[in-house]
């Protein structure tokens, strides 16, 4: 199928040096909405009477909404523009918090709210990451990737921290956390309307379903020269980006929560903030490792998987010891693995992708990354037959295998982005 030529942007669309900040604010707000629920898992178990499997299923509903947001939003924004798609995501994030306010009465608003939240976060990650890179004109690729990852991670961390504090000590614990995010999210669409568009809409084709599907598949296809490196580096590393987060602040608090008594919610919040705070702190390391190794960017992915392996092993040990302090050490290690992995993965994708498929491949990367967030649900389901020490030992073994694959893939020379 012949490629549709892109309309040339007008001079009015040239971004200013600070244009990326409003997009970063949207990523921050959607990240806040995405992770504000996580430290509240213990609250829903204690006050709502939901089982461990039920609250982990709430996390799963988030991923169900996330995947179409990641896979569809990127290609649509490549052809229809970044602004309308990201504005839709920002509005959806606010709507999700409004729906979640009714979760104290029934599980259905929680499932619906989490699904909408996932859809909003998927849009923010796929479209926001690409738009920040395009608006960071003149900055090196490492800085653009770090800006996107930093803003999203900061939203994840602060959202969890504020929600946990409000639920532990504030009034109406099943409502107040969501109202705080709602007040933040409603102003974001207005800010985005002032950001220059970097992907003007392309001319419409025939509009047939076949053409739409062909376009979508083309946008999600990894360029041929990069496929071997993608299979050996990105594919085994990506699920651990949020797999580490799931272990740190979904599995560990539920295993050791009985050791902290009435402080369970505050403790879960602390683990979440510790994990993501460490992730923010180490992100410059990933960028530096990529810069120092030139075209063979193997150090950062290997470092990410090595630290992840260490954190997974600590989780396996703590499934036996059940120490809140060891859980905190494991969370810090897993947070470091998360921080290095998320930046190095974005850099891998940005160097593989061309301008016309950047958002689509970013969506693929984040879809793989968020597959790891299903890990707590999988473990909770298998716990009827297997103990957590056995399951977490298997998780650590899987991390070791993935480390071996990434070390092999690190020797593959990285191709330049395809010319368009």
Q: How many CB atoms lie within 10 A of CB 145?
A: 29
What does the alpha-carbon distance between residue 199 and residue 357 come to, in Å, rounded to a whole number? 11
**Digits of tens for pLDDT over the chain (420 positions)?**
334 344 444 444 556 667 888 999 999 999 999 989 877 877 887 777 777 777 777 877 888 898 888 888 888 887 788 999 999 999 999 999 999 998 877 888 999 999 999 999 999 988 988 888 888 765 555 667 777 788 888 888 888 889 988 988 888 888 999 999 999 999 999 999 988 888 887 666 544 456 555 666 666 667 666 678 888 889 999 999 999 988 998 899 889 988 888 788 888 889 988 998 999 889 887 777 766 554 445 688 999 999 999 999 999 999 999 999 999 999 999 999 999 999 888 888 888 877 667 777 888 888 899 888 889 888 988 998 999 999 999 999 999 999 999 999 887 665 544 444
pLDDT at 48: 74
Classify residue 411 as exposed, middle or buried by CB count within 10 Å of its CB (0-12, 13-18, 19+).
exposed
What is the fold of 15-199+207-409?
Growth Hormone; Chain: A; (1.20.1250)
**CB proximity list for 177: less than 8 A, separation 6 or greater:** 36, 40, 162, 163, 164, 166, 167, 170
């Amino acid at each position: 199928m012949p490629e549709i030529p892109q309309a040339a942007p007008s001079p009015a669309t040239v971004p200013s040096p600070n244009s990326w900040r409003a997009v970063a604010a949207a990523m921050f707000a959607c990240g806040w909405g995405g992770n504000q629920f996580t430290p509240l898992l213990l609250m829903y178990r204690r006050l709502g009477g939901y089982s461990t499997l039920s609250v982990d299923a709430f996390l799963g509903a988030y991923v169900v909404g996330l995947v179409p947001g990641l896979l569809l939003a990127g290609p649509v924004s490549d052809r229809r523009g970044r602004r309308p798609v990201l504005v839709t995501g920002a509005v959806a994030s606010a709507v999700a918090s409004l729906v979640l306010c009714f979760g104290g009465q029934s599980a259905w608003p929680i499932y619906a709210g989490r699904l909408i939240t996932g859809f909003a976060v998927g849009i923010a990650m796929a479209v926001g990451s690409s738009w920040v890179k395009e608006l960071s004109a003149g900055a090196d690729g490492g800085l653009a990737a770090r800006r996107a990852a930093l803003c999203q991670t900061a939203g994840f961390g602060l959202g969890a921290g504020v929600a946990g504090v409000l639920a532990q000590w504030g009034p109406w614990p099943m409502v107040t956390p969501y109202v705080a995010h709602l007040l933040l999210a409603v102003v974001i669409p207005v800010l985005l309307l002032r950001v220059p568009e970097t992907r003007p809409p392309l001319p419409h084709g025939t509009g047939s379903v076949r053409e739409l599907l062909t376009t979508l598949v083309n946008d999600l296809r990894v360029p041929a020269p990069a496929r071997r490196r993608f299979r050996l580096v990105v594919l085994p590393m990506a699920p651990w980006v949020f797999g580490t987060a799931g272990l740190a602040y979904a599995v560990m608090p539920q295993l050791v929560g009985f050791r902290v008594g009435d402080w369970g919610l505050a403790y879960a919040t602390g683990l979440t903030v510790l994990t993501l705070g460490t992730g923010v702190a180490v992100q410059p390391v990933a960028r530096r490792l990529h810069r120092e190794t030139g075209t063979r960017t193997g150090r950062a992915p290997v470092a990410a998987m090595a630290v992840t392996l260490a954190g997974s092993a600590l989780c396996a040990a703590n499934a036996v010891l059940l120490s809140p302090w060891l859980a905190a050490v494991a969370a810090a290690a897993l947070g470091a693995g998360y921080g290095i992995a998320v930046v190095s993965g974005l850099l891998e994708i940005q160097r593989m992708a061309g301008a016309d498929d950047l958002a689509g491949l970013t969506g693929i990367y984040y879809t793989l990354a968020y597959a790891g967030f299903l890990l707590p649900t999988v473990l909770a389901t298998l716990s009827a037959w297997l103990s957590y020490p056995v399951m977490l030992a298997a998780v650590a073994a899987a991390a070791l295998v993935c480390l071996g694959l990434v070390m092999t893939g690190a020797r593959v020379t990285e191709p330049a982005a395809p010319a368009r």
